[in-house]
Structure 1
């Protein structure tokens, strides 16, 4: 692979340096390199070696941006390829560096192009240095014809024209790249190449420069004979006669097509989604701003943004694989585009979220009607590899004015409306309102305060007693977490539990509840000399974390309480979500003595086959089953059937939400094992729970 690559790496993260070197070595290179971690290092090392390339991490120094280094390199007149190692969020700034003279941009998360770019830049550097020698040689000896032959021999692509621009000589490489024969080129002007992307003013400045005997250097986009394009970096050297008049020009060209294509691809990638080829968020926002300006100038329709998210799209990836998921997203994007037509602009915001900008309507009501028709269109079956896939999407709308007056705000509010749809009725459509924004802000406040609340011990665990109807004693309890917010007071679990689950904070929160539960069990054991069983609810995130088993072992050892005193409660939806993973974890807990309860039975799948497969000890009947229960009613018969069925499977039954004496008596007649609800007691603090145990006589009424 030739001489070793000589590289200067500018980075402050040693791990990033190791990744770069590993990538280069994995391709068979043995680089010679130095690392500059400060501006002092840069000033010292930049002159130490004849560097083939400089690799600069965009994050190398928060105070000194890479642009300063590039300008410093230029001020020192050092011709060294300057390559940026950039993260996606820095691409826009990186493109500015490309415009300022950087050689290329490498994605920091995927270095696969690195060695290719290093080799390419080394070749181009060698070429430039050879060309500089040639050019200098030519400029010093313009009147000697032998230097024309030297240029022809040394340059990559060469042409010679007379003073009027008529071609008198081309070398073989010029013929090869242009596709024209030598006979077609000789006697013609360079207009035969139909140079593109230069204005009339550019060409006037070009001719003025070379007719004055000055060397011209620049990039030109030419057209081949077959109609395709190619880019050349060109230096034109005028030759002057004894009287100072120019009598011919030598043009030295270098093919830079690959580099220009790479720059074009980088620009494309900065503004388009690679999977669907739709505009990305940045370009979409720019289009919204443009339409807002046109609307304010009475030149365009009412701007409306429709945000839509595929419902339950994860099941496609889980069941058919990520490749199938990508295929379906492309099909879905194409369906949106075809329905909306050229008057609308569609973007892919995230993995399974899209947005559409429409401007053909005069009101948000017309936009809503359009969204309903689009939603119906997207419900059509998608045939895919023998499957008939039926997908739905949840929509949110926001229009200029009530939905915001800036692009970012309108798009954000459309997304808020879509999230509101997801929370309230999946697969429907909502139009943005200020109430939605207030709710989102409240949820964000709660989520931001959650971590602080855990760190500051703002959470309290309450315990609700469960009465054993046979022994008439309180042997079981349920642990319920509460949040005493310093400003908002007591925050409902309905508000903060979903936030904790979405943010991952449910893990430390559940661990805290288990710790407090163990303390309560230990205190009752020490003060009353008897064991109680306390149930702790597990969310899907905690359960899937799979450390719950180790938590139980650790708590048992530290607090010296029996495993049998802890009960975990899971919902039907969690139990059925992934039986292959769920059952082994539950069996491990059961085997060490931890009790397993199925909470809110009857609100989910309610399948008897699942009850047989799960290692349960207790079934808790949801309080909705107690509504309208009277002796002999259909509701009563259903309740009795559930209790008997559970008993036949060897399970205890707990009825939740018992608030009335009549319910208590009926449950006793139905042979229910335990009851829980306000009839017994509301959730109590640990201290109050201990007092309750001391005073409880078994008398309910």
Structure 2
């Protein structure tokens, strides 16, 4: 009993040192001394296991000679080998009763004998989750066999060593984690802070001090809302409450610095959870004042003309549509004034664009003088401006504005050393009770504008209907169009769409032609607008759809080349209730697989709103039919619609393409559309390609497909069948 007390006391000291996080070497030396107390006259060696190298190495805190200590470094776990390797490999105690007689010690025998060692008992040091940590070895100077009691003592020793090693490893991990956390907290570029559950600062990093303008000591104990713009305190409190309830939330708010300045902040709050209980809230804040300013500037530039400061044509059309529908619902008056400057082109060409730009800015300033709170002024395009007047009581109010514009523009303009004179032709149109679409207001004002030009310019004209109708809208041509539908005077030609680089034909577009029995071929530019205006575009479009499906199905059946066909669909036809049925009937009657049919629609389908269009496109897509946006960039829609439309293809209008090589602004628009479309996984087709230079330019811009006379004019079906697979490619 007396011999056991010192052993138990030493064991108790070891546990206390482990609990007190004493240095590991000190603890291991205590364990070695404890083992020596139980095996008098022995020597003890501790070997650590390296899991990456799969080796054992002796560590200090033992009584080995320097040569033997060096020999016991990076010993691979390969058997047969000395008992310490066997113990590590088997996970069980392994002994050598006489080192001199054991062949497994061959490489280590002499150096061990030189140290006076004849016997060795080895026990693996293993964690509670069966992880090998090392081996404890007891050496004897006489051949010795180990008994059961000796194994029990070594097992106790191995358990103490494992406890010490694991606690040290956990302590290092905790310290490393703490250092990483502190480095991240202190050096984070965003403001990082901790709040208690009442919303008061507990600590903050240097970035928070920089953003708020307060030191950490000044912030401690302060409620976060004291640093928030009063108009944003309710929102910020709600976000904090959400974090206290367990949510992680990111939001924008407005802070107030120590200097009293207001800054825009992006804040993330999330709960601090310990033992399943929320004890506080972490916050990360970023100063986004500059970003918000940039976003505001970009938003302004996207919707405004930089030369004049007025809203641009796209934004004006969007606002016009919104105001139109509001006036429709509220039965309010609405008028549009379309202004085209007389003689501006000669000034711009003769005196230079710099003078022209300054003149446009001066014109915009004078137009503002004629506007009021119910007037929207915008630069539509080039030298064309627009004014939208809503909620006026008498038409004379609109006339007075038009007269004001003429009077303001009649005064000379002083541009640098130049004195310039300019006038304007003005068209006016008012929302009529039977008007159904916003674009009708623009069309009517444009007709009135043309009438003002014919009246000698420098005047205004109000649209009253018949007096300014287009000559195409004649009863004669309308009747002939109806007869052409009944007598099957229409035919289809097909124009190939080719790979931009190789010239390989990828698909064709069906284009309708009117073969008039007396006047010959009538241009689609004459009868298509008329058909759209009269509603005859619907039966004409149905005929084109059926005929194109029938002819391409027949062509594909007789050829190894399988060509998809694109059919132009008017907005009137696209949004008809029976449109899907008409498409299904055309495919079924022709036998053309749905994947070989593509429908091309223009941006005008969006004038009634995007939601029904998106729903219809989704339905078509589910049936394998693709939809492309034709003549992109010429309509009244917003680019935001394109983001939401389930379309796979965008066709650039030829009005852009024929200016790309000569007009850098047009080229920038084309490049922007191509890049934007590719980011939205859309294919881009450029129409109207006539020259190799145009082809090369669009290839450089990564345009996918091309169409135009460079490759083939629209041709009848029989000619299409004879075309080669590849039309002029790059270098052809």
TM-score scaled by structure 2?
0.39
Structure number with greater Rg is 2
